[in-house]
A = this chain, B = another copy of it.
Amino acid sequence: MRTLPGRDLSADVASLAAESGDVPLAEAYAAVRRLTEALAAPLSPEDQVVQSMPVASPAKWHLAHTTWFFETFLLLPYLPGWRVFDERWGFLFNSYYEAVGARHPRPQRGLLTRPSVAEVARYRAAVDVAMAELLSAPARRDCPDVAALVRLGINHEQQHQELLLTDILHAFSCNPLRPSYRSFHADPPLAAAPSAAPLAFVAFPGGLREIGADGRGFAFDNESPRHTVYLRPFRLAERPVSNGDWLAFIGDGGYLRPELWLSDGWATVQAEAWRAPLYWQRDGDAWSAMTLAGPRSLDPVAPVCHVSFYEADAYARWMGKRLPSEAEWEFAAGRVSAAGNLLDAGAPQRSPLRPLPGPAAGSGKLRQLFGDVWEWTQSPYAPYPGFRPAAGAVGEYNGKFMCNQMVLRGGSCVTPAGHVRASYRNFFYPHQRWQFAGLRLAEDV
C-alpha cells in the first residue's frame, strides 16, 4: 500500500479547512508522531533493525522514512533556513520516489545497522521541533499546499504504523522463539462450538451508483474522481469468513483440489506448499496461529486472517459464492460508521492487535465491515475513470502501482482508528499474505 496524491492540492483547501476545524493540524501531527513512537517502544534495538523479507521493512526504517517524508516535502521547501539533517540519509530513507534521487536497494534495508535507533530518535525529534515551528507560523500553516502536505504526511505515517506492526509480526514469526510483541492479557476461554446459525446475507438493489471520495475530509488521490458505476443487485454476507469456516474448507480438501483455484493461484499453492493461512500451525488436532501476542489457539469464531487473494477466491468458489467488487463493497459501506476493532490511536497498549469475534449474528445488518481484517475484493486495482496524475514532485508516481494488484477494503485490527473510510482503497498482490487480510462473501441476486 503505497499511495501519493495526484490531485491539484489547492483544490482540497475547502475540505481540509473543514477537517482541520476539528483538530488543529499541529496537534494532529504531534499525535500521530507520538503513536509511531509508542508502537516502536516495545521493540529492542535488535528488533528494530531486522528485515525478514524484501517486501517488509525494519521498524527503524519506518521511523526514519516517515520523518524523511516530512523533512523532504515540508521542511525543505517551506521552512526557511532548514538544513538537511544528514546529507547521506536521503539515499537510505527514500522509499521509491525516483524523482527525489537514487535509493538504497529495498532488499538491503535490513543491513543498515547505522544510523542507530538512538540516532533515528534524534532525527525524529529535530524534525518534530522544526515541524512545530512551521505549523505555528500562521502564514505557513494556512498555506493550502502546506496543510495538504501535512495532512498527507500524517496519513502516510499512519500507513507505516500499520506496516510496522505487520512487518514485525512477520519477523517474529521467523524466530523459533516466537516472541510476543508486548504483554497481552490471556485470551478468555474459547467459546463453545460456534453457533449453527447459517450465514446470512444482506441484499442491495442495483442501479447507477456513485463511488469514490466525496470531498469531505482527507482522501488519497486513488479514491478520485467520484464517478458513476452501474451495479446489478447483489447480496453481501453479514460477517467476514471465520476461522471455523476456514477449517471446514481445509477439511474438505480445499488446498488439494485444483478445480477450486485460479490457475496462477494453484501454481502458487503447489510452489509454496500452502496448506493453511500464513502463521497457522497444526499441533495434532488443534490449530494455533502466530500473532502479535505470540502463538495463540485459533478462535473459530474470529475472522480468518493472513490469507491471500488466491485463497479468498478459492474459498468463495468452494462456497458457490464470489468476492464482492469494490464498488459493491463501497456502496454497501456507505452508511456504516467507520468504527470497529481498529488500532486505538489514543491507547495503543489496550488494542488487541488481532481479529476478534464479532457481535452475535442475526441482526440483519453488516457487521465488522471496518476493522478486524482487510477484505479482499474481486477488483483489480485500476485507475478510476478520469483519474489523472498531477504534475509535480509528490504526484510524480500517481497510479504507478495500478497493475497486478487487487483492492482490499475496510481496514484491520492494526489500522489506526480514524485512518480508514468507505472509499479507502488498499491494494496488494494476489499472492501476498502477511497483511491482516481476510474476506467477506458476496452473491448475485
Which residues on A are within 8 Å of B, measured CB to CB? 44-50, 52, 60, 88, 91-92, 96, 98-99, 104, 108, 110-117, 171-172, 174-177, 179, 208, 227-230, 232, 258-259, 261-266, 309-310, 313, 317, 325, 378-380, 382-383, 385-386, 389, 396-397, 399-404, 430, 444
Contact = CB atoms under 8 A, between A and B. Distances in A.
A230 B232 contact: no
Given A45-B46, A400-B263, A113 B386 contact: no
Contacts of A444: 385-386
A103 to B, nearest CB: 10
Contacts of A261: 400
Contact of A228 (B115, B230, B386, B396): B230
Given A176-B91, A230-B230, A263-B397, A113 B46 contact: yes
Contacts of A310: 403
Contacts of A317: 389
B259 A113 contact: no
Contacts of A176: 88, 91-92, 104
A112 B325 CA distance: 41
Contact of A49 (B49, B88, B208): B49
Highest count of chain B CB atoms <10 Å: which of A228, A229, A403, A430: A403
Nearest to A328: B385
A88 B399 CA distance: 47
A328 to B, nearest CB: 10
Given A44-B116, A47-B113, A228-B230, 10 more contacts: A46-B48, A50-B113, A110-B110, A111-B175, A112-B175, A232-B386, A259-B397, A262-B403, A404-B404, A404-B430
13 contacts: A44-B113, A49-B50, A50-B110, A88-B177, A91-B176, A98-B259, A99-B259, A114-B179, A230-B230, A262-B402, A264-B401, A379-B382, A404-B404
A264 B49 contact: no
Contacts of A325: 385
Contacts of A114: 44, 46-47, 175, 177, 179
